[in-house]
Copies of this chain bind each other. A is one copy, B any other.
Amino acid sequence: MLGTEFPDDAKAQMEGGIKAVFKSWNGKKAVSYRKIEGIPDDWGTAVNVQAMVFGNMGDTSATGVAFTHNPTTGDNHFYGEWLINAQGEDVVAGIRTPSPLNDETKNEQNKNFHSMEELMPETYKELCDIRRTLEQNYHDMLDIEFTIQEGVLYMLQCRVGKRTGVAALNMAFDMLNEKLIDEQEVVMRISPAQLDELLHPILDAEDEKKYDVIAKGLPAGPGGAVGVIALTSEKAKLYAEQGIKNILVREETNPEDVEGMRAADGILTARGGMTSHAALVARGWGKCCIVGCDAVKIDFEKGFVYINGNVFKEGDLLALNGTKGYVYDKEIKMINATENPLFQRFMTMVDKFRTMGVRTNADNPDDALRAVSFGAEGIGLFRIEHMFYGKNSEKPLEKLRNMILSDSTDERIAALDELEPDIREYAKATLKVLDGKPLTFRLMDPPLHEFAPQGEEKMKEVAKRLKISYEEVKKRVDALHEVNPMMGLRGVRLGIIYPEITRVQFRALFSATAELMKEGHNPKLEIMVPLTINVKELEHQKNIANEIKAEVEAKYGVNISYMFGTMIEIPRATLVADKIAEVAEFFSFGTNDLTQMTFGFSRDDVNAIVKDYVDQKIIPADPFNTLDQEGVGQLVKLGVDRGRSTRANLKCGVCGEHGGDPDSVEFFYHAGLNYVSCSPFRVPVARLAAAQAAIKESRKK
């Protein structure tokens, strides 16, 4: 394969080199990178063998790396770095701070170095021609590597360039204006991860003005970050695990630092250019990053960081403006970037191609409004349990405890009657702000034992209120204990064993609806029954709904319309979905619990196991982050298909956390779901993923 024109020792060397490339696939850094990027281990790598050229043959030789547009901002400028008398590695590794390719690439750090444009104008012009040819051919921004050997230009490599979300957005619209690409392609050009990056916070410019910049570096990764200094990857991971925002500060980064870079909120390096390892990786992840900040000196032995005369140590605070390359030592305010008009224009374009709905999981008016501002078309999961958490929850929680600890149906009904106005007002507030957009109310599924009073003091308090002995309270609390609460008295089971719990919720919901109607609003209530295993459970609950609805309609003199549906979150429900759809008007797949039961994985217990399984490649990814399409996905498809075999227009959605994961969203699109529902901040990502899934499908046709 290598031909015969090489002497034997050169051949051996090349063979060694090729083997080294193949071997590198299983190197620690490659494995780590794939794990983070979710690239399967069995893809393998290819090796291109090409003739060698040398950039280190004197001052007429050079090497460089360039982007055909600015990869940080997207500006239409040739953007790159070069080094005279050097090999490509020297640029990429960030060991020498490289020179600018041209005027547009000059910045504070390198403005006194000579550009290629200045020193080798002929060759630079040739390179610019190649840049144009490549862009016109590929219709995209490219990342190129070149070497000049004794005055002759050789192109080494060309690939689609990594870019920030902002750059991707700007370039896509530029190319749209130039008619190089169409709107569909614009939507395809921004990855969900890049969009997520646009949603990421930046330093508040007003606040930033108040403080002095203590050092400047290259703006390698956009956005802002405020956190404490971590001097090693290990420390950054440790901080992240403890939920402490942190900035990884390094001389330069190596591939071995990849996991620490992932864990850090921001990255600051003393050396390296815009194409150094740290810069490339950070940009790929949309992570705030400043490189080549010469003012930074690190004394690892002492654990000190010197920045222009100031001394910092691990745990001290820094703030980074990754878009400008500025470093601060103050806690600067952060703001969000979603007000960008290009972002809004892009999202409008996204919705042109999107066919699947996007809702949000929200439990109060604030979250609901925020999600609507992100484009949510309603609430796919409203958990009434949230009224028992946080502010103003004390009174309702007290009443809930009375209910949980009641000893007879009469006691329970009395406690529930007390609770009804709270449920009504809580649900009504969110129904009101959604006006016209649907709200899917999940019937109460409280972890009883968690809401029960814990500890002697709390129990004594409850005992006093209920006028029973402490021992009696303790006995009742103990009786709530379950060996496997995940598969115990939960969900609809509660509503069947204690129908009064369902009754009070229907009364509260229908009353809230009736009141809003009378106040001139347009409440769109959808009630869903959790943890269903068969249609009889639904019939049981529906009978209660019918009874209470008639009662409330008579009281208020209105006709209430609502939808009655169920969560599909137990494997059995997917198997008998055809029967369940006889009563359910919609399905909402609860993929969290469905994943738990399908795997026999308790989320409370298997985190360590899942991590180990992923590390040992027993499973490709954490099934709670990305839907297990092979297993759980089969059940989702089955549920949709069987449900619609009974009720052709059955509305199907998903309200597990997978609703905000782009890969899962694409799967749900193909499974035929009508909507996904996710947390407010994931709504734009879900909209984009849904649009891209539709475009991909239309292109296949």
Which A residues are closer than 8 A to B by beta carbons?
482-489, 493, 496-497, 531, 533-534, 536-537, 540, 570-572, 575-576, 593, 596-602, 604-606, 608-609, 612-613, 616-619, 628, 630-632, 634-635
Contact A540 B616 (CB under 8 A): yes
Question: How far is the CB of A535 from the nearest CB of chain B, in Å?
Answer: 10
Q: How far is the CA of A631 from the CA of B597 in the complex (A)?
A: 14
Complex alpha-carbon distance, A599 and B493, angstroms: 12
The answer on a CB contact under 8 Å between B606 and A487 is: yes
The distance from the CB of A184 to the nearest CB of chain B, in whole angstroms, is 35
State whether A634 touches B600 (Cβ < 8 A): no
In whole angstroms, how far apart are the Cα atoms of A606 and B570 in the complex?
A: 15
A-B contact pairs, 17 of them (CB 8 A): A482-B604, A483-B485, A484-B487, A484-B605, A485-B605, A486-B600, A486-B602, A493-B606, A496-B616, A533-B600, A534-B618, A570-B598, A570-B600, A571-B631, A572-B631, A575-B630, A597-B600
- Cβ of A628: which chain B residues have Cβ within 8 Å of it? 572
Q: Which 10 A-B pairs have the closest CB atoms?
A: A484-B602, A487-B602, A483-B604, A488-B605, A572-B631, A482-B605, A484-B486, A570-B600, A571-B571, A536-B618
> A531 contacts which chain B residues (CB < 8 A)?
600
A496–B616 Cα distance when bound, in Å, is 9
- In the bound complex, CA of A601 to CA of B573 (Å): 13
In the complex where A600-B570, A632-B572 touch, is A612 in contact with B483 (Cβ < 8 A)?
A: no
Which of B485, B540, B597 contacts A571 (CB under 8 A)? B597
| Residues A496 and B575 in contact in the complex (CB < 8 Å), given A489-B605, A599-B533, A600-B533 | no
Q: How far is the CA of A482 from the CA of B605 in the complex (A)?
A: 6
A618-B575 in contact (CB<8A)? no
Closest to A531 in B: B600
| Cα of A604 to Cα of B635 in the assembled complex, Å | 26
A489: which of B536, B570, B609 is its contact (CB, 8 Å)? B609
A211 to B570, CA, bound (A): 58
Are A630 and B576 touching (Cβ within 8 A)?
yes
Q: Verify B488–A487 contact, CB threshold 8 A.
A: no
Is the beta-carbon distance between B537 and A605 smaller than 8 angstroms?
no
**Interfacial chain B residues near A537, Cβ < 8 Å:** 618
Tell me the complex Cα distance, A448–B177, Å: 65
- Chain B residues with CB under 8 Å of A482's CB are 602, 604-605
Given the interface pairs A496-B616, A575-B631, the reply to whether A487 lies near B609 with Cβ below 8 Å is no
The smallest C-beta distance from A158 to any residue of chain B, in angstroms, reads 38
Structural contact, A600 and B606, CB atoms closer than 8 A: no
- Min CB distance A454 to B, Å, is 15
> Which of B489, B533, B571, B604 makes the CB contact (< 8 A) with A484?
B604
**Cα(A415)–Cα(B537), bound, Å:** 50
**Bound-state Cα–Cα, A530 to B604, Å:** 21
Nearest B residue to A482, CB-CB: B605
Query: Cβ of B536 and Cβ of A575 under 8 Å apart?
Result: no
- B483 touching A605 by the CB < 8 A rule? yes
Task: Verify A487–B634 contact, CB threshold 8 A.
Answer: no
| Residues of chain B contacted by A533 (CB below 8 angstroms) | 599-600, 619, 631
Chain B residue at minimal CB-CB distance from A488? B605
Chain B, residue nearest A617 (CB): B536
Q: Which residue of B lies closest to A490 (CB)?
A: B600
Residues from chain B with Cβ under 8 Å of A609 in the complex: 488-489, 493, 497
Contact (Cβ within 8 A) A496 B597: no
Q: Is the CB of A613 within 8 A of B496?
A: yes
Task: Assess whether A540 is in contact with B618, with CB atoms less than 8 Å apart.
Answer: yes
Across the interface, do B575 and A635 meet the contact criterion of CB distance under 8 Å? yes
Q: Which residues of B contact A536 (CB under 8 A)?
A: 617-619
Chain B CB count within 10 A is highest, among A483, A616, A632, for A483
Q: CA of A482 to CA of B485 in the docked complex: distance in angstroms?
A: 11
Q: How far does the alpha carbon of A496 sit from the alpha carbon of B608 in the complex, in Å?
A: 12
Are B489's CB and A486's CB within 8 A? Answer: no
Q: Which of B488, B496, B602, B632 contacts A606 (CB 8 A)?
A: B488
Residues of chain B lying within 8 A (CB to CB) of residue A602: 482-484, 486-488
Nearest-CB residue, chain B, relative to A606? B488
Chain B residues closer than 8 Å to A601, beta-carbon distance: 487
Closest to A613 in B: B496
Report how far A609 CA is from B635 CA in the complex, Å: 25
Indicate the member of A496, A571, A608, A618 with the most B CB atoms within 10 Å: A571
Q: Are B612 and A497 in contact (CB under 8 A)?
A: yes
The chain B residue with its CB closest to the CB of A570 is B600
Query: Could you tell me the distance between the alpha carbons of A598 and B600 in the complex, rounded to whole angstroms?
Result: 10
Indicate which residue in B486, B600, B635 contacts A593 across the interface (CB closer than 8 Å): B600
**Closest beta carbon of chain B to A144's beta carbon, Å:** 40
Q: Please report the C-alpha to C-alpha distance between residue A373 and residue B489 in the assembled complex, in whole angstroms.
A: 43
Sample of 15 more A-B contacts, CB < 8 Å, known A572-B599, A575-B630:
A482-B605, A484-B604, A485-B605, A486-B487, A487-B596, A488-B606, A496-B612, A531-B600, A533-B600, A533-B619, A570-B599, A571-B600, A572-B598, A575-B634, A593-B600
**Inside 8 A of A593's CB, which chain B residues have their CB?**
600
A617 to B575, CA, bound (A): 19
Q: Which residues of B contact A619 (CB under 8 A)?
A: 533-534, 536
Task: Give the residues in chain B near A631, CB-CB below 8 Å.
Answer: 533-534, 571-572, 575-576
CA distance A397 to B323 in the complex (A): 63
How far, in Å, is A488 (CB) from chain B's closest CB? 4
Instruction: Identify the closest chain B residue to A536 (Cβ).
Output: B618
Complex: A616 Cα to B540 Cα, angstroms? 9
A570 to B623, CA, bound (A): 15
A476 to chain B, nearest CB (A): 15
Q: When the two chains form the complex, which single residue of B496, B605, B618 contacts A496, counting CB atoms closer than 8 Å?
A: B618
Give the residues in chain B near A618, CB-CB below 8 Å: 496, 534, 536-537, 540
How far does the alpha carbon of A153 sit from the alpha carbon of B606 in the complex, in Å? Answer: 76
How near does chain B come to A447, taking the closest CB pair, in angstroms?
10
CB distance from A622 to the nearest CB of B (A): 13
